[in-house]
């Protein structure tokens, strides 16, 4: 499996460019010298130039929260993978539950974005996860497998350029995380399905957990054998709390 845990922050629609500069000037010294984990921050599009500038020469990578699948054209309000790469992004989050449920993105639509982002050399974090109703109906594994297979369709031999984020929709922004052992069960299932999709490349995929991750539960989550990182929402907005999660991940890596 990939060597380092990935500690990723998804800022969602928070922070202006000036607030981004302020954040990085506080956060960088807190995580300086930590190389046991990979640190990623995904700010809003408008903040990416400031984030790239402020993170230059540091151990922090920058990604985006979404993109469109065309390189350019008459697509008002959209951003292409080409633009993200030139702006300095290395990653892009695709298929987040908020994109699926608020903006109506389908697995097929998300798949077009995945293919386009991979073609432009971005590393993709593909989000999957079930709603509370689906979970209570016993459909967790069915939903996750469908999202995986459709989202990864047609990517060829590029599976090792993908990370998966398992985000149970009922846990996002609620303050209630999935129990570590429950998340581990789904993560193990995801790895089984990835091996069916591409046995040679499945071990190169990191499966992250996302959904109300915070310093108080990060150690229990990251200690699970098939959880290879976290996608952090609200707790990534404060430099202190995100740095604490990074340090917890680094400590776990050192103890292996």
CB half-sphere exposure, 240, CA atoms < 13 A? 1
Q: Annotated catalytic, 70?
A: no
Q: Annotated catalytic, 192?
A: no
Helices 239-254 and 17-31, axial angle in degrees (round to 10): 30
Could you report the per-residue pLDDT of 53-72, keeping only the tens digit for each? 999 999 999 999 999 999 99
pLDDT at 171: 79
Residue appearing with tokens 């998966």: 164
Domain ranges of the chain: 5-254
SS3 68: coil
Question: For residues 66, 175, 5 and 142, what is the CA-based torsion angle, rounded to 10 degrees?
Answer: -70
* Active-site residue, from 38, 54, 96, 130: 96
pTM beyond 0.85: yes
Could you report the per-residue pLDDT of 111-170, keeping only the tens digit for each? 999 999 999 999 999 999 999 899 989 999 999 999 999 999 999 999 999 999 999 998
* Active-site residue, from 167, 187, 226, 244: 167
For domain 5-254, give the fold. Answer: TIM Barrel (3.20.20)
Q: Assign 3-class secondary structure to 216-237.
A: HHHHHHHCCCCCCEEEECHHHC
Question: What's the farthest any 2 CA atoms get from each other in the chain?
Answer: 51
């Amino acid at each position: 499996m990939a060597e380092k845990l990935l500690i990723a922050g998804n800022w969602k629609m928070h922070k202006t460019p000036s607030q981004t500069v302020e954040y990085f000037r506080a956060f960088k010294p807190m995580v300086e010298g930590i190389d046991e984990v990979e640190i990623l921050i995904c700010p809003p599009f408008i903040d990416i130039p400031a984030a790239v500038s402020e993170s230059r020469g540091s151990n922090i990578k920058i990604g985006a929260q979404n993109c469109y699948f065309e390189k350019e054209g008459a697509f008002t309000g959209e951003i292409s993978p080409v633009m993200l790469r030139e702006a300095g992004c290395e990653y892009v989050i695709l298929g987040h539950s908020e994109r699926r449920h608020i903006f109506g993105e389908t697995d097929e639509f998300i798949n077009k974005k995945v293919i386009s982002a991979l073609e432009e050399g971005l590393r993709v974090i593909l989000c999957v996860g079930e709603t509370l109703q689906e979970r209570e109906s016993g459909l967790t594994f069915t939903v996750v497998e469908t999202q995986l297979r459709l989202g990864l369709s047609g990517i060829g031999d590029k599976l090792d350029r993908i990370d998966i984020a398992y985000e149970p929709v009922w846990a996002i922004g609620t303050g209630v995380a999935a129990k570590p052992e429950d998340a581990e069960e789904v993560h193990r299932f995801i790895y089984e399905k990835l091996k069916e999709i591409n046995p040679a490349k499945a071990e190169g995929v990191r499966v992250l957990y996302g959904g109300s991750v915070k310093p108080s539960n990060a150690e229990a989550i990251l200690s699970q054998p098939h959880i290879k990182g976290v996608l952090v929402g609200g707790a990534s907005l404060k430099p202190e709390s995100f740095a604490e999660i990074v340090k917890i991940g680094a400590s776990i890596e050192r103890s292996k």
